[in-house]
Structure 1
Amino acid sequence: MKIRLLVPVLLVVAIAGQSCVSSKKYKELDANYTQLQNSTNDLSMKYQNSERALAVANSQIKSLDDRLTQERANSAALKDALDKCLNASSQGNVNISKLVDEINRSNSYIKELIAAKNKSDSLNMVLTNNLTRSLSQSEMQDVNVQVLKGVVYISLADNMLYKSGSYEVSDRAGETLSKIAKIIKDYSTYDVLIEGNTDNVPITQKNIRNNWDLSALRASSVVQSLQNNYGVDPKRLTAGGRGEYNPIASNDTPAGKAQNRRTQIIITPKLDQFMELIGKAPAEQPKQ
Protein backbone atom coordinates (compact mmCIF):
# COMPACT_ATOMS: atom_id res chain seq x y z
CA MET A 1 0.00 0.00 0.00
CA LYS A 2 1.47 3.19 -1.01
CA ILE A 3 1.39 5.79 1.68
CA ARG A 4 1.25 9.16 0.13
CA LEU A 5 1.93 11.64 2.86
CA LEU A 6 1.00 15.17 1.89
CA VAL A 7 1.94 17.55 4.65
CA PRO A 8 -0.22 20.65 4.34
CA VAL A 9 0.94 24.16 4.76
CA LEU A 10 -0.51 25.56 7.94
CA LEU A 11 -1.36 29.18 7.27
CA VAL A 12 -2.21 31.27 10.29
CA VAL A 13 -4.85 33.71 9.15
CA ALA A 14 -4.26 36.35 11.73
CA ILE A 15 -3.87 39.71 10.07
CA ALA A 16 -2.51 42.34 12.41
CA GLY A 17 -5.24 44.77 11.47
CA GLN A 18 -8.10 42.39 12.34
CA SER A 19 -9.61 42.87 15.78
CA CYS A 20 -11.08 39.35 15.99
CA VAL A 21 -7.61 37.69 16.47
CA SER A 22 -5.32 38.80 19.30
CA SER A 23 -1.57 39.29 18.97
CA LYS A 24 -1.00 36.39 21.35
CA LYS A 25 -3.18 34.07 19.26
CA TYR A 26 -1.39 35.19 16.10
CA LYS A 27 2.00 34.37 17.58
CA GLU A 28 0.75 30.98 18.81
CA LEU A 29 -0.60 30.01 15.41
CA ASP A 30 2.51 31.36 13.71
CA ALA A 31 4.66 29.19 16.01
CA ASN A 32 2.53 26.14 15.10
CA TYR A 33 2.95 27.00 11.42
CA THR A 34 6.75 27.18 11.75
CA GLN A 35 6.82 23.89 13.67
CA LEU A 36 4.82 22.07 11.01
CA GLN A 37 6.92 23.57 8.23
CA ASN A 38 10.05 22.19 9.91
CA SER A 39 8.36 18.82 10.24
CA THR A 40 7.58 18.71 6.50
CA ASN A 41 11.14 18.02 5.34
CA ASP A 42 11.64 15.32 7.98
CA LEU A 43 8.32 13.66 7.08
CA SER A 44 9.14 13.73 3.37
CA MET A 45 12.47 11.96 3.94
CA LYS A 46 10.88 9.32 6.20
CA TYR A 47 8.10 8.79 3.66
CA GLN A 48 10.58 8.24 0.85
CA ASN A 49 12.56 5.72 2.94
CA SER A 50 9.38 3.85 3.85
CA GLU A 51 8.25 3.85 0.19
CA ARG A 52 11.56 2.31 -0.88
CA ALA A 53 11.43 -0.35 1.82
CA LEU A 54 7.81 -1.23 1.02
CA ALA A 55 8.54 -1.32 -2.70
CA VAL A 56 11.31 -3.87 -2.10
CA ALA A 57 9.06 -6.01 0.11
CA ASN A 58 6.13 -5.83 -2.35
CA SER A 59 8.40 -6.78 -5.24
CA GLN A 60 9.77 -9.78 -3.35
CA ILE A 61 6.31 -11.03 -2.38
CA LYS A 62 4.98 -10.61 -5.95
CA SER A 63 8.00 -12.49 -7.30
CA LEU A 64 7.38 -15.33 -4.87
CA ASP A 65 3.71 -15.52 -5.85
CA ASP A 66 4.58 -15.57 -9.57
CA ARG A 67 7.20 -18.26 -9.13
CA LEU A 68 4.89 -20.34 -6.94
CA THR A 69 2.13 -20.19 -9.57
CA GLN A 70 4.57 -21.17 -12.32
CA GLU A 71 5.99 -24.07 -10.36
CA ARG A 72 2.52 -25.40 -9.56
CA ALA A 73 1.67 -25.25 -13.26
CA ASN A 74 4.91 -27.08 -14.11
CA SER A 75 4.17 -29.76 -11.52
CA ALA A 76 0.69 -30.31 -12.94
CA ALA A 77 2.10 -30.62 -16.45
CA LEU A 78 4.73 -33.11 -15.30
CA LYS A 79 2.13 -35.25 -13.54
CA ASP A 80 -0.02 -35.24 -16.68
CA ALA A 81 2.95 -36.34 -18.76
CA LEU A 82 3.68 -39.09 -16.24
CA ASP A 83 0.14 -40.43 -16.52
CA LYS A 84 0.53 -40.61 -20.29
CA CYS A 85 3.82 -42.42 -19.98
CA LEU A 86 2.32 -45.02 -17.67
CA ASN A 87 0.05 -46.05 -20.55
CA ALA A 88 2.83 -46.02 -23.12
CA SER A 89 5.23 -48.78 -24.19
CA SER A 90 8.26 -49.98 -22.28
CA GLN A 91 10.23 -47.29 -24.06
CA GLY A 92 8.59 -44.87 -21.67
CA ASN A 93 10.21 -46.46 -18.60
CA VAL A 94 13.30 -44.27 -18.92
CA ASN A 95 11.19 -41.15 -19.34
CA ILE A 96 9.12 -42.07 -16.25
CA SER A 97 12.24 -42.13 -14.10
CA LYS A 98 13.27 -38.69 -15.34
CA LEU A 99 9.78 -37.30 -14.83
CA VAL A 100 9.65 -38.60 -11.26
CA ASP A 101 12.95 -36.86 -10.50
CA GLU A 102 11.69 -33.61 -12.03
CA ILE A 103 8.43 -33.80 -10.07
CA ASN A 104 10.33 -34.34 -6.83
CA ARG A 105 12.58 -31.36 -7.51
CA SER A 106 9.56 -29.22 -8.42
CA ASN A 107 7.69 -30.20 -5.26
CA SER A 108 10.74 -29.39 -3.14
CA TYR A 109 11.02 -25.95 -4.75
CA ILE A 110 7.30 -25.30 -4.20
CA LYS A 111 7.75 -26.04 -0.50
CA GLU A 112 10.59 -23.52 -0.33
CA LEU A 113 8.46 -20.84 -2.01
CA ILE A 114 5.52 -21.50 0.32
CA ALA A 115 7.81 -21.25 3.35
CA ALA A 116 9.22 -17.92 2.12
CA LYS A 117 5.76 -16.51 1.49
CA ASN A 118 4.49 -17.67 4.88
CA LYS A 119 7.47 -15.96 6.50
CA SER A 120 6.54 -12.67 4.82
CA ASP A 121 2.89 -13.02 5.83
CA SER A 122 3.83 -13.76 9.43
CA LEU A 123 5.68 -10.42 9.79
CA ASN A 124 2.39 -8.61 10.32
CA MET A 125 1.49 -10.87 13.23
CA VAL A 126 4.96 -10.56 14.77
CA LEU A 127 4.92 -6.76 14.57
CA THR A 128 1.37 -6.51 15.95
CA ASN A 129 2.20 -8.73 18.93
CA ASN A 130 5.43 -6.88 19.68
CA LEU A 131 3.93 -3.41 19.50
CA THR A 132 0.75 -4.15 21.44
CA ARG A 133 2.23 -6.27 24.21
CA SER A 134 2.07 -3.28 26.60
CA LEU A 135 -1.74 -3.26 26.32
CA SER A 136 -4.17 -5.48 28.19
CA GLN A 137 -7.06 -7.25 26.46
CA SER A 138 -9.52 -4.66 27.77
CA GLU A 139 -7.32 -1.82 26.53
CA MET A 140 -7.08 -3.39 23.07
CA GLN A 141 -10.86 -3.04 22.75
CA ASP A 142 -10.46 0.76 22.80
CA VAL A 143 -7.48 0.98 20.45
CA ASN A 144 -7.78 -0.18 16.82
CA VAL A 145 -4.38 -1.45 15.67
CA GLN A 146 -3.80 -2.62 12.09
CA VAL A 147 -0.53 -3.71 10.47
CA LEU A 148 -0.03 -3.41 6.72
CA LYS A 149 3.30 -4.46 5.21
CA GLY A 150 5.31 -3.77 8.33
CA VAL A 151 3.69 -0.43 9.20
CA VAL A 152 1.43 -0.04 12.24
CA TYR A 153 -1.72 2.09 11.88
CA ILE A 154 -3.70 3.17 14.96
CA SER A 155 -6.90 4.93 13.92
CA LEU A 156 -8.94 7.11 16.31
CA ALA A 157 -12.23 8.90 15.55
CA ASP A 158 -12.30 12.68 15.95
CA ASN A 159 -15.16 12.61 18.46
CA MET A 160 -12.92 10.54 20.74
CA LEU A 161 -10.03 13.00 20.62
CA TYR A 162 -11.24 16.55 20.08
CA LYS A 163 -13.72 19.03 21.40
CA SER A 164 -16.64 19.55 18.99
CA GLY A 165 -15.67 21.76 16.03
CA SER A 166 -12.17 22.30 17.45
CA TYR A 167 -8.62 21.07 17.14
CA GLU A 168 -8.07 21.10 20.93
CA VAL A 169 -7.70 17.66 22.53
CA SER A 170 -10.62 16.90 24.85
CA ASP A 171 -10.31 15.79 28.48
CA ARG A 172 -11.90 12.40 27.72
CA ALA A 173 -9.12 11.61 25.21
CA GLY A 174 -6.53 11.32 27.97
CA GLU A 175 -7.11 7.65 28.76
CA THR A 176 -6.91 6.67 25.09
CA LEU A 177 -3.75 8.70 24.44
CA SER A 178 -2.10 7.19 27.50
CA LYS A 179 -2.57 3.74 25.89
CA ILE A 180 -1.12 4.98 22.61
CA ALA A 181 1.85 6.40 24.51
CA LYS A 182 2.47 2.93 26.00
CA ILE A 183 2.82 1.46 22.51
CA ILE A 184 5.06 4.28 21.30
CA LYS A 185 7.33 4.22 24.35
CA ASP A 186 7.56 0.42 24.32
CA TYR A 187 9.48 0.70 21.03
CA SER A 188 11.44 3.87 21.64
CA THR A 189 13.44 3.82 18.39
CA TYR A 190 10.52 3.64 15.95
CA ASP A 191 9.40 6.71 14.02
CA VAL A 192 5.89 8.02 14.70
CA LEU A 193 3.70 10.07 12.34
CA ILE A 194 0.48 11.65 13.61
CA GLU A 195 -1.76 12.20 10.58
CA GLY A 196 -4.99 14.21 10.68
CA ASN A 197 -7.88 13.52 8.27
CA THR A 198 -11.26 15.23 7.77
CA ASP A 199 -14.45 14.78 5.78
CA ASN A 200 -15.27 17.12 2.87
CA VAL A 201 -17.43 19.59 4.82
CA PRO A 202 -15.71 23.04 4.70
CA ILE A 203 -14.52 24.46 8.02
CA THR A 204 -16.11 27.80 9.01
CA GLN A 205 -13.84 29.04 11.79
CA LYS A 206 -12.25 32.41 11.08
CA ASN A 207 -8.72 31.48 12.11
CA ILE A 208 -8.69 28.21 10.10
CA ARG A 209 -8.70 28.52 6.33
CA ASN A 210 -9.73 25.02 5.29
CA ASN A 211 -9.63 21.31 6.12
CA TRP A 212 -5.91 21.16 5.40
CA ASP A 213 -5.33 23.57 8.27
CA LEU A 214 -7.79 21.77 10.56
CA SER A 215 -6.24 18.33 9.99
CA ALA A 216 -2.72 19.63 10.55
CA LEU A 217 -3.70 21.53 13.72
CA ARG A 218 -5.39 18.43 15.12
CA ALA A 219 -2.32 16.31 14.43
CA SER A 220 -0.15 18.96 16.10
CA SER A 221 -2.41 18.94 19.18
CA VAL A 222 -2.04 15.16 19.54
CA VAL A 223 1.74 15.39 19.10
CA GLN A 224 2.01 18.03 21.82
CA SER A 225 -0.26 16.06 24.15
CA LEU A 226 1.89 12.93 23.73
CA GLN A 227 4.99 15.01 24.44
CA ASN A 228 3.74 17.19 27.32
CA ASN A 229 1.36 14.82 29.11
CA TYR A 230 2.84 11.36 28.49
CA GLY A 231 6.58 11.96 28.06
CA VAL A 232 7.00 10.79 24.47
CA ASP A 233 10.27 12.05 22.97
CA PRO A 234 9.29 14.86 20.54
CA LYS A 235 12.26 14.02 18.30
CA ARG A 236 10.43 10.86 17.26
CA LEU A 237 7.15 12.61 16.45
CA THR A 238 5.98 14.20 13.21
CA ALA A 239 2.65 16.00 12.80
CA GLY A 240 0.94 16.13 9.42
CA GLY A 241 -2.48 16.66 7.89
CA ARG A 242 -4.13 15.26 4.76
CA GLY A 243 -7.34 17.26 4.93
CA GLU A 244 -10.25 15.65 3.12
CA TYR A 245 -8.07 13.99 0.46
CA ASN A 246 -7.45 10.62 2.08
CA PRO A 247 -10.99 9.23 2.64
CA ILE A 248 -11.61 5.63 3.66
CA ALA A 249 -15.37 5.84 3.04
CA SER A 250 -17.85 7.82 0.93
CA ASN A 251 -18.64 11.34 2.10
CA ASP A 252 -22.19 10.95 0.76
CA THR A 253 -23.51 9.60 4.06
CA PRO A 254 -23.15 10.73 7.71
CA ALA A 255 -21.62 7.35 8.58
CA GLY A 256 -19.02 7.72 5.83
CA LYS A 257 -18.16 11.24 6.94
CA ALA A 258 -17.70 9.98 10.51
CA GLN A 259 -15.21 7.36 9.33
CA ASN A 260 -13.23 9.93 7.38
CA ARG A 261 -12.95 12.28 10.38
CA ARG A 262 -10.10 10.48 12.07
CA THR A 263 -6.54 10.79 13.28
CA GLN A 264 -4.08 8.06 12.40
CA ILE A 265 -0.99 7.31 14.45
CA ILE A 266 1.49 5.56 12.17
CA ILE A 267 4.43 3.70 13.73
CA THR A 268 7.14 2.78 11.25
CA PRO A 269 10.23 0.66 11.95
CA LYS A 270 13.43 1.75 10.22
CA LEU A 271 14.73 -0.52 7.47
CA ASP A 272 17.29 -2.26 9.71
CA GLN A 273 14.59 -2.88 12.33
CA PHE A 274 12.25 -4.26 9.66
CA MET A 275 14.94 -6.71 8.53
CA GLU A 276 15.48 -7.74 12.16
CA LEU A 277 11.78 -8.57 12.41
CA ILE A 278 12.12 -10.76 9.33
CA GLY A 279 14.68 -12.81 11.23
CA LYS A 280 12.22 -13.23 14.11
CA ALA A 281 9.34 -14.38 11.93
CA PRO A 282 8.69 -18.16 11.94
CA ALA A 283 9.81 -20.02 8.84
CA GLU A 284 6.60 -22.02 8.60
CA GLN A 285 3.03 -21.45 9.69
CA PRO A 286 1.80 -23.84 12.43
CA LYS A 287 -0.25 -26.73 11.11
CA GLN A 288 -3.98 -26.46 11.76
Structure 2
Amino acid sequence: MKRVMLFAAVAAISLSSCVSKKKYTELEAKNKEIQDLLNTATVKLNTCLTEKEAFAQQIDFLKKNNSDLINNMGNLTTLTTKGAENLEKSLESLKEKDLKISRLQDALTKKDSVTLALVTSLKREVGIDDPDININVEKGVVMISIADNLLFKSGSYEVSDKAKGVLAKVAKVINSKPDFECMVEGHTDNVPIKNAVLLDNWDLSVKRATSIVRVLEKELAVNPKQLIPAGRSSYVPLVENDSPANRAKNRRTRIIIMPKIDQFYDMIEKEMKNLEGK
Protein backbone atom coordinates (compact mmCIF):
# COMPACT_ATOMS: atom_id res chain seq x y z
CA MET A 1 0.00 0.00 0.00
CA LYS A 2 2.71 2.32 0.91
CA ARG A 3 4.45 1.49 -2.29
CA VAL A 4 1.31 2.28 -4.26
CA MET A 5 0.86 5.63 -2.55
CA LEU A 6 4.50 6.49 -3.11
CA PHE A 7 4.13 5.70 -6.79
CA ALA A 8 1.04 7.83 -7.00
CA ALA A 9 2.82 10.72 -5.32
CA VAL A 10 5.75 10.44 -7.65
CA ALA A 11 3.39 10.30 -10.62
CA ALA A 12 1.53 13.35 -9.41
CA ILE A 13 4.75 15.22 -8.94
CA SER A 14 5.96 14.20 -12.36
CA LEU A 15 2.66 15.23 -13.96
CA SER A 16 2.72 18.49 -12.11
CA SER A 17 6.28 19.10 -13.29
CA CYS A 18 5.34 18.39 -16.90
CA VAL A 19 2.37 20.82 -16.82
CA SER A 20 4.45 23.65 -15.30
CA LYS A 21 7.17 23.30 -17.89
CA LYS A 22 4.63 23.45 -20.73
CA LYS A 23 2.91 26.41 -19.13
CA TYR A 24 6.25 28.05 -18.57
CA THR A 25 7.15 27.59 -22.21
CA GLU A 26 3.85 29.14 -23.22
CA LEU A 27 4.30 32.00 -20.82
CA GLU A 28 7.85 32.51 -21.96
CA ALA A 29 6.71 32.64 -25.57
CA LYS A 30 3.92 35.02 -24.59
CA ASN A 31 6.38 37.16 -22.67
CA LYS A 32 8.73 37.29 -25.65
CA GLU A 33 5.83 38.33 -27.86
CA ILE A 34 4.87 41.01 -25.38
CA GLN A 35 8.51 42.14 -25.12
CA ASP A 36 8.73 42.39 -28.90
CA LEU A 37 5.55 44.43 -28.93
CA LEU A 38 6.96 46.62 -26.18
CA ASN A 39 10.21 47.12 -28.04
CA THR A 40 8.28 47.99 -31.20
CA ALA A 41 6.09 50.38 -29.24
CA THR A 42 9.17 51.94 -27.66
CA VAL A 43 10.76 52.48 -31.04
CA LYS A 44 7.57 54.00 -32.35
CA LEU A 45 7.30 56.16 -29.23
CA ASN A 46 10.83 57.42 -29.64
CA THR A 47 10.14 58.11 -33.31
CA CYS A 48 6.99 59.98 -32.37
CA LEU A 49 8.86 61.99 -29.75
CA THR A 50 11.53 62.89 -32.30
CA GLU A 51 8.92 63.86 -34.83
CA LYS A 52 7.07 65.81 -32.15
CA GLU A 53 10.19 67.79 -31.34
CA ALA A 54 10.76 68.48 -35.04
CA PHE A 55 7.15 69.56 -35.43
CA ALA A 56 7.46 71.76 -32.35
CA GLN A 57 10.53 73.47 -33.87
CA GLN A 58 8.74 73.83 -37.16
CA ILE A 59 5.73 75.34 -35.39
CA ASP A 60 8.00 77.82 -33.59
CA PHE A 61 9.59 78.75 -36.92
CA LEU A 62 6.19 79.15 -38.54
CA LYS A 63 4.96 81.27 -35.64
CA LYS A 64 8.02 83.51 -35.85
CA ASN A 65 7.72 83.68 -39.63
CA ASN A 66 4.04 84.52 -39.33
CA SER A 67 4.83 87.22 -36.80
CA ASP A 68 7.50 88.65 -39.08
CA LEU A 69 5.06 88.58 -41.99
CA ILE A 70 2.45 90.39 -39.90
CA ASN A 71 5.03 93.03 -38.93
CA ASN A 72 6.18 93.34 -42.53
CA MET A 73 2.59 93.66 -43.65
CA GLY A 74 2.15 96.45 -41.13
CA ASN A 75 5.31 98.17 -42.38
CA LEU A 76 4.25 97.60 -45.96
CA THR A 77 0.84 99.05 -45.18
CA THR A 78 2.54 102.07 -43.61
CA LEU A 79 4.86 102.45 -46.55
CA THR A 80 2.01 101.98 -48.98
CA THR A 81 -0.06 104.57 -47.12
CA LYS A 82 2.83 107.05 -47.12
CA GLY A 83 3.50 106.30 -50.77
CA ALA A 84 -0.15 106.89 -51.59
CA GLU A 85 -0.09 110.17 -49.64
CA ASN A 86 3.09 111.30 -51.42
CA LEU A 87 1.63 110.29 -54.77
CA GLU A 88 -1.55 112.18 -53.98
CA LYS A 89 0.47 115.25 -53.01
CA SER A 90 2.53 114.96 -56.19
CA LEU A 91 -0.60 114.66 -58.29
CA GLU A 92 -2.14 117.63 -56.51
CA SER A 93 1.03 119.65 -57.08
CA LEU A 94 1.03 118.61 -60.73
CA LYS A 95 -2.60 119.67 -61.04
CA GLU A 96 -1.76 123.06 -59.52
CA LYS A 97 1.15 123.48 -61.92
CA ASP A 98 -1.05 122.48 -64.83
CA LEU A 99 -3.58 125.05 -63.66
CA LYS A 100 -0.90 127.75 -63.44
CA ILE A 101 0.44 126.84 -66.87
CA SER A 102 -3.10 126.86 -68.21
CA ARG A 103 -3.70 130.31 -66.74
CA LEU A 104 -0.43 131.52 -68.19
CA GLN A 105 -1.31 130.10 -71.59
CA ASP A 106 -4.76 131.64 -71.34
CA ALA A 107 -3.22 135.02 -70.56
CA LEU A 108 -0.86 134.74 -73.51
CA THR A 109 -3.68 133.54 -75.76
CA LYS A 110 -5.87 136.40 -74.61
CA LYS A 111 -3.07 138.86 -75.25
CA ASP A 112 -2.48 137.39 -78.70
CA SER A 113 -6.21 137.60 -79.43
CA VAL A 114 -6.31 141.23 -78.33
CA THR A 115 -3.20 141.93 -80.42
CA LEU A 116 -4.77 140.34 -83.48
CA ALA A 117 -7.97 142.32 -82.98
CA LEU A 118 -5.89 145.48 -82.60
CA VAL A 119 -4.03 144.82 -85.86
CA THR A 120 -7.31 144.22 -87.66
CA SER A 121 -8.74 147.43 -86.23
CA LEU A 122 -5.67 149.45 -87.18
CA LYS A 123 -5.56 148.09 -90.71
CA ARG A 124 -9.22 148.91 -91.09
CA GLU A 125 -8.78 152.46 -89.72
CA VAL A 126 -5.43 153.34 -91.25
CA GLY A 127 -5.57 151.26 -94.41
CA ILE A 128 -2.97 148.90 -95.82
CA ASP A 129 -2.58 150.24 -99.32
CA ASP A 130 -0.09 152.98 -98.47
CA PRO A 131 3.49 151.66 -99.00
CA ASP A 132 4.77 154.22 -96.47
CA ILE A 133 2.72 152.66 -93.67
CA ASN A 134 3.44 149.15 -92.40
CA ILE A 135 1.37 147.46 -89.66
CA ASN A 136 2.51 144.15 -88.21
CA VAL A 137 3.09 142.19 -85.01
CA GLU A 138 6.60 141.80 -83.63
CA LYS A 139 7.44 140.13 -80.32
CA GLY A 140 3.79 140.11 -79.31
CA VAL A 141 3.11 143.83 -79.81
CA VAL A 142 1.54 145.82 -82.63
CA MET A 143 3.95 148.03 -84.56
CA ILE A 144 3.05 150.78 -87.00
CA SER A 145 6.02 151.93 -89.03
CA ILE A 146 5.53 155.23 -90.87
CA ALA A 147 8.09 156.53 -93.33
CA ASP A 148 9.50 159.95 -92.46
CA ASN A 149 8.61 161.40 -95.88
CA LEU A 150 4.98 161.03 -94.78
CA LEU A 151 5.56 162.69 -91.40
CA PHE A 152 8.37 165.23 -91.70
CA LYS A 153 10.34 167.26 -94.16
CA SER A 154 14.01 166.36 -94.53
CA GLY A 155 15.99 167.29 -91.40
CA SER A 156 12.83 168.61 -89.70
CA TYR A 157 10.90 167.44 -86.67
CA GLU A 158 7.70 169.41 -87.43
CA VAL A 159 4.78 167.08 -88.16
CA SER A 160 3.18 167.62 -91.58
CA ASP A 161 -0.55 168.18 -92.05
CA LYS A 162 -0.72 165.01 -94.15
CA ALA A 163 0.75 163.04 -91.28
CA LYS A 164 -1.87 164.32 -88.87
CA GLY A 165 -4.56 162.58 -90.90
CA VAL A 166 -2.78 159.24 -90.44
CA LEU A 167 -2.08 159.95 -86.75
CA ALA A 168 -5.77 160.74 -86.18
CA LYS A 169 -6.66 157.21 -87.28
CA VAL A 170 -4.00 155.76 -85.00
CA ALA A 171 -5.25 157.94 -82.14
CA LYS A 172 -8.76 156.58 -82.60
CA VAL A 173 -7.52 153.05 -81.98
CA ILE A 174 -5.33 154.10 -79.03
CA ASN A 175 -8.26 155.92 -77.42
CA SER A 176 -10.35 152.75 -77.70
CA LYS A 177 -7.72 150.89 -75.62
CA PRO A 178 -7.24 152.94 -72.43
CA ASP A 179 -5.32 150.06 -70.80
CA PHE A 180 -2.73 150.05 -73.59
CA GLU A 181 0.46 152.08 -73.90
CA CYS A 182 1.82 153.71 -77.04
CA MET A 183 5.56 154.09 -77.54
CA VAL A 184 6.67 156.42 -80.31
CA GLU A 185 10.19 155.67 -81.59
CA GLY A 186 12.12 158.02 -83.85
CA HIS A 187 14.70 156.45 -86.23
CA THR A 188 17.18 158.19 -88.53
CA ASP A 189 19.73 157.16 -91.13
CA ASN A 190 23.48 157.39 -90.43
CA VAL A 191 24.09 160.73 -92.16
CA PRO A 192 25.34 163.12 -89.46
CA ILE A 193 23.25 166.20 -88.75
CA LYS A 194 24.07 169.29 -86.73
CA ASN A 195 22.59 172.77 -86.74
CA ALA A 196 21.59 175.51 -84.36
CA VAL A 197 18.81 173.36 -82.88
CA LEU A 198 19.92 169.77 -83.39
CA LEU A 199 23.16 168.41 -81.98
CA ASP A 200 23.06 165.05 -83.77
CA ASN A 201 20.81 162.19 -84.93
CA TRP A 202 19.96 161.37 -81.32
CA ASP A 203 18.49 164.85 -81.01
CA LEU A 204 16.59 164.52 -84.28
CA SER A 205 15.11 161.12 -83.46
CA VAL A 206 13.99 162.20 -79.98
CA LYS A 207 12.49 165.49 -81.18
CA ARG A 208 10.55 163.72 -83.93
CA ALA A 209 9.17 161.26 -81.33
CA THR A 210 8.15 164.05 -78.93
CA SER A 211 6.58 166.04 -81.78
CA ILE A 212 4.29 163.13 -82.64
CA VAL A 213 3.49 162.58 -78.95
CA ARG A 214 2.45 166.25 -78.64
CA VAL A 215 0.16 165.94 -81.66
CA LEU A 216 -1.44 162.78 -80.24
CA GLU A 217 -1.94 164.42 -76.83
CA LYS A 218 -2.85 168.03 -77.66
CA GLU A 219 -4.63 167.69 -80.99
CA LEU A 220 -6.01 164.15 -80.94
CA ALA A 221 -6.94 163.82 -77.24
CA VAL A 222 -4.82 160.75 -76.44
CA ASN A 223 -4.24 160.32 -72.70
CA PRO A 224 -0.60 161.38 -72.08
CA LYS A 225 -0.27 158.60 -69.50
CA GLN A 226 -0.42 156.16 -72.41
CA LEU A 227 2.35 157.85 -74.39
CA ILE A 228 6.10 157.12 -74.32
CA PRO A 229 8.46 159.05 -76.66
CA ALA A 230 11.82 157.45 -77.51
CA GLY A 231 14.71 158.26 -79.86
CA ARG A 232 16.81 155.47 -81.42
CA SER A 233 19.03 157.60 -83.68
CA SER A 234 20.56 155.48 -86.49
CA TYR A 235 21.37 152.43 -84.39
CA VAL A 236 18.40 150.18 -85.26
CA PRO A 237 18.39 150.27 -89.07
CA LEU A 238 16.08 148.13 -91.18
CA VAL A 239 18.71 147.80 -93.90
CA GLU A 240 22.29 148.89 -94.51
CA ASN A 241 22.71 152.62 -95.00
CA ASP A 242 24.54 152.05 -98.27
CA SER A 243 22.23 153.83 -100.72
CA PRO A 244 19.76 156.73 -100.81
CA ALA A 245 16.84 154.27 -101.06
CA ASN A 246 18.02 152.29 -98.05
CA ARG A 247 18.66 155.41 -96.00
CA ALA A 248 15.09 156.50 -96.79
CA LYS A 249 13.81 153.16 -95.45
CA ASN A 250 15.73 153.65 -92.21
CA ARG A 251 14.31 157.15 -91.67
CA ARG A 252 11.04 156.25 -90.03
CA THR A 253 8.85 156.59 -86.95
CA ARG A 254 7.62 153.47 -85.29
CA ILE A 255 4.49 153.55 -83.11
CA ILE A 256 4.25 150.54 -80.80
CA ILE A 257 0.86 149.80 -79.27
CA MET A 258 0.92 147.26 -76.45
CA PRO A 259 -0.75 146.23 -73.19
CA LYS A 260 0.71 148.12 -70.28
CA ILE A 261 4.05 146.43 -69.71
CA ASP A 262 3.98 146.61 -65.91
CA GLN A 263 0.53 145.03 -65.62
CA PHE A 264 1.16 142.25 -68.12
CA TYR A 265 4.63 141.27 -66.96
CA ASP A 266 3.70 141.52 -63.28
CA MET A 267 1.04 138.92 -63.99
CA ILE A 268 3.49 136.74 -65.95
CA GLU A 269 6.16 137.05 -63.24
CA LYS A 270 3.67 136.18 -60.52
CA GLU A 271 2.52 133.07 -62.35
CA MET A 272 6.12 131.99 -63.02
CA LYS A 273 7.05 132.42 -59.35
CA ASN A 274 4.03 130.32 -58.39
CA LEU A 275 5.21 127.61 -60.77
CA GLU A 276 8.77 127.67 -59.41
CA GLY A 277 7.54 127.58 -55.82
CA LYS A 278 5.54 124.35 -56.32
TM-score, normalised with respect to structure 1: 0.50
The C-alpha deviation readout for 1:25-54, integer Å capped at 9, x for no partner, is xxxxxxxxxxxxxxxxxxxxxxxxxxxxxx
* Whole-angstrom distance in 2 between the partners of 1:137 and 1:211: 32
Spell out, residue by residue over 1:115-157, the C-alpha distance to the aligned partner (whole angstroms, 9 max, x if none): x99x979965651323442653772334421112321111001
Larger radius of gyration: 2
1:144 aligns with 2:127: no
1:211: which partner in 2?
201
Distance 1:131 1:187, change over 3 A: farther
What amino acid sits opposite 1:182 in the alignment? Answer: K
Corresponding position of 2:182: 192
Provide the residue aligned with 1:164 in structure 2.
154
Q: Work out the CA distance in 1 between the residues paired with 2:125 and 2:213.
A: 25
Give the superposed CA RMSD: 3.0
What does 1:57-76 correspond to in 2, within 5 Å? none
Higher RCO structure, 1 or 2 (CA under 8 Å, sep 6+): 1
Does the 8 Å contact 1:193/1:239 carry over to 2? yes
Q: Counterpart of 1:220?
A: 210
Distance 1:173 1:133 in 2: 19
For the residues of structure 2 that align with 1:138 and 1:157, how far apart are their CA atoms?
14
Deviations 1:256-278 (A, max 9, x none): 101110001111213655899xx
Cα deviation, residue 237, structure 1: 0.6
Aligned equivalents of 2:114 and 2:140: distance in 1? 9
- The 5 Å alignment of 1:221-260 reads 221-260=211-250
Task: Give distance in 1, aligned partners of 2:224 and 2:110.
Answer: 31
Q: Greater helix percent: which structure?
A: 2
Amino acid at match of 1:239: P
Structure 1 unpaired stretches of 5+: 1-115, 277-288
SS in 1 for 2:158: coil
User: Residue 144 and residue 183 in structure 1: after superposition, are their counterparts in 2 closer, same or farther (change >3 A)?
Assistant: farther
Give CA-to-partner distance per residue, 1:181-230, whole Å, 9 cap, x none: 12211211111111100000011322111000000000000000011111
Q: What's the secondary structure of 2:121's corresponding residue?
A: coil
Number of the residue aligned with 1:174? 164
Residues 150 and 269, structure 1, Cα contact 8 Å, conserved in 2: no
**Cα pair distance change 1:258/1:121, threshold 3 Å:** farther
Are the structure 2 counterparts of residues 134 and 252 from structure 1 closer, same or farther at C-alpha, using a change threshold of 3 Å? closer
> Contact 2:119 / 2:136 at 8 angstroms: preserved in 1?
no
Aligned length: 163
Q: How does the TM-score come out when normalised to structure 2? A: 0.52
C-alpha distance in 2 between matches for 1:260 and 1:220: 18
Amino acid at match of 1:268: M
Change (3 A) 1:135 1:205: same
Name the SS of the counterpart of 2:153 in structure 1.
coil
- Secondary structure, counterpart of 1:208 in structure 2: coil
Q: Indicate the SS of the match to 2:182.
A: strand
